[in-house]
Amino acid sequence: MNKHTIFSLVLSCGLIGGASVYAKPKEVKNVIVMIPDGTSTSVLSLSRWYKQAPLAVDKYLSGLVTTHCSDAPIGDSAPTGATYATGVLARTGNIAIYPEVTENDLVKTDANRTYQPAFTLLEAAKLKGKATGLVFTCQLPHATPADFAAHAVSRKDDDRLAKQMVYNGVDVVFGGGWQYLDPAVREDGENLYEVLNEKGVQRISNKNQLNALNKGTKKVWGLFAPDALPFEDEQVDSVPSIATMTAKAIDILSQDKDGFFLMVEGSKVDWAAHANDTKGVITEYLAFDDAVKVAMDFAEKNQNTIVVVMPDHGNGGVSLGNSKSNGSYSKLPYKEIFDPFRKIRVSQAMAKAINQTMKYADYVALLQDEYGVNLRGDEGLYEPFLAAQQALALRQEADYAQKTLAYERKIENAMGKVCNVLIKTVNRDNYIGWTTSGHEGEDVFLASYSPAEQLRGVVKNNQVNEFIQRTSDIKDLTKKTDTYFVRHDQLFNGYDMQIAGSNPRYPELIVTNPKKGKTLRFEAYKDFYYLNGKKEPLKAKGDAATTIVGYTEAKNHQAFYLPIYLKEIIK
């Protein structure tokens, strides 16, 4: 008996349950997927205690989700988020593609599909004529938003992911990461701002512009920071909250008579959990929970909307109680556990209090007076403090404007080292436990709302995708994959084919039929092609919606993926 059979038996025996139905099935036309990235289930308890009130998500909690990769029980954000988007379990680092086969596979994996792009719910919604949207607090091409509108072997391909997300025609995008569109910092030099303009997309960059959007707005991208958005405790007036972005996205998308698909990610719960930053995890989750209320209020009023809320994986193994509370856990008063966090601001805010002229002694005093952090001697902070000041000095260099993204990353890395020291100092004195600074394999919470079939019990992450396909009119993702992402050497078998181009990261495919005097040329990730030099839109057959030229590469693999109807064009 192999491992696939064993896992199938576990499922069929009911140890991991599926969805249950207690109402007449009804296809709904709006779908909202909400992902608090890296949120362990215990974060709900911590947030509820900290808030001293019920959470918006509480009344909709309906089960648990087992999350994992295709070959590993502990999941990575890229493949676990992509499983919600595509229904396909994949390997660490994969963005919405089929995985390669390994000896450790936990699910049946088809070697013939290795690295084939897998159609997403957002892409399928677009083909149905629906409006589509993404809201997130990270940067544009980060793993989870990219999972719904791009495809790649590696989540680290920021520039290529951002390009796909632009050409994939997402109607509403709110989050961070405008620099990934900037030709001055992009590796291909393409001006993706201009591409958005050509597509009729309005661009905004601050909260006032978001609030001032006209009621008739249909296509708008608001990227409110060069990279990720600030943490909740660092919010500035120009940056909208995730709840505000969610409300505005729903306002715009719900104008479409055919319905809409929206993915909302509370991205930085995960980032705070990686840092073991208790206050950061709580405040980031509570901000996301406000967005849950926005979505659920809309769904209950609309009665034609599914909302599913679930993390992509747990992170940190956080707990209320640690070794410090071993002898007194049942006698610890609420104030002793939680009041210290009301003064302590998230570690990122502590780090960013540094400026390049500040004296170390003044910073230590600031930490104690303003942030509630009490150092016992140096505790290893002095050297990271100096490194952060040196990184900040980069901003004075003459070529800073041309290298902003790279310089900001250096600053963030330096600040991160300060954060690590501060977090250890804070955690030394509290009663919150952490088992790891990485992901862990717990089942995560599931919350859902549907006007018909309900998703309940313990389900696998791909079953969430199956539930959405079954209960909405966004269906047949596998069939769409086989219609719009056909490998080029299979699609154009018998014709002359050449992969070329001046930039190997952004190649071109040239296909020639000399007998008919026809030549097709495709540029990776774009939504058009050239027939004998004439530019043509890459349309989904029988539909006005466009698709993109798929392309994936890895060791011993280089392939374009294209709509099957193109075979008829070159005959």
Give the closest residue to 170 by CA, choosing from 486, 480, 548, 465: 548
Residue 21 has pLDDT above 60, yes or no: no
Give the closest residue to 32 by CA, choosing from 344, 233, 310, 279: 310
Residue 352 has pLDDT above 90, yes or no: no
What local confidence, expressed as pLDDT, does residue 243 receive? 98
Q: Which residues have a Cβ under 8 Å from the Cβ of 300 and sit 6 or more positions away?
A: 449
What local confidence, expressed as pLDDT, does residue 5 receive? 39
Contact assessment for residue 166 and residue 204, using Cβ atoms and an 8 Å cutoff: no
What's the CATH number for 3-318+439-467? Answer: 3.40.720.10
Amino acid making up residue 177 = G
Give the closest residue to 271 by CA, choosing from 82, 142, 134: 142
CA distance 378 to 387: 15
The alpha carbon torsion through 451, 452, 453, 454 (nearest 10 deg) reads: 30
Q: Which residues have a Cβ under 8 Å from the Cβ of 71 and sit 6 or more positions away?
A: 91, 99, 102, 104, 105, 106
Q: Same topology for domains 3-318+439-467 and 485-570, yes or no?
A: no
Classify residue 400 by its DSSP letter. G
Residue 400 has pLDDT above 60, yes or no: no
Burial of 330 per CB tally in 10 Å (0-12, 13-18, 19+) = exposed
Give the closest residue to 171 by CA, choosing from 84, 96, 263, 98: 263
Neighbours of 310 (CB within 10 A): 24
What local confidence, expressed as pLDDT, does residue 15 receive? 39
CA distance 194 to 344: 43
Amino acid making up residue 53 = A
What local confidence, expressed as pLDDT, does residue 306 receive? 97
The token pair that represents 217 in the structure block: 């707005």
pLDDT band at 404 (very low <50, low <70, confident <90, very high): low
Average pLDDT, the chain: 91
Question: Is the full-model pTM beyond 0.85?
Answer: yes
Tell me the mean pLDDT in the region 515-544.
90
Residue 173 has pLDDT above 90, yes or no: yes
What local confidence, expressed as pLDDT, does residue 505 receive? 92
Q: Which residues have a Cβ under 8 Å from the Cβ of 348 and sit 6 or more positions away?
A: 230, 231, 233, 234, 277, 280, 415, 419
User: Domains of the chain: which residue ranges?
Assistant: 3-318+439-467, 329-433, 485-570
pLDDT band at 403 (very low <50, low <70, confident <90, very high): low
Domain 485-570: give its CATH architecture.
2-Layer Sandwich (3.30)
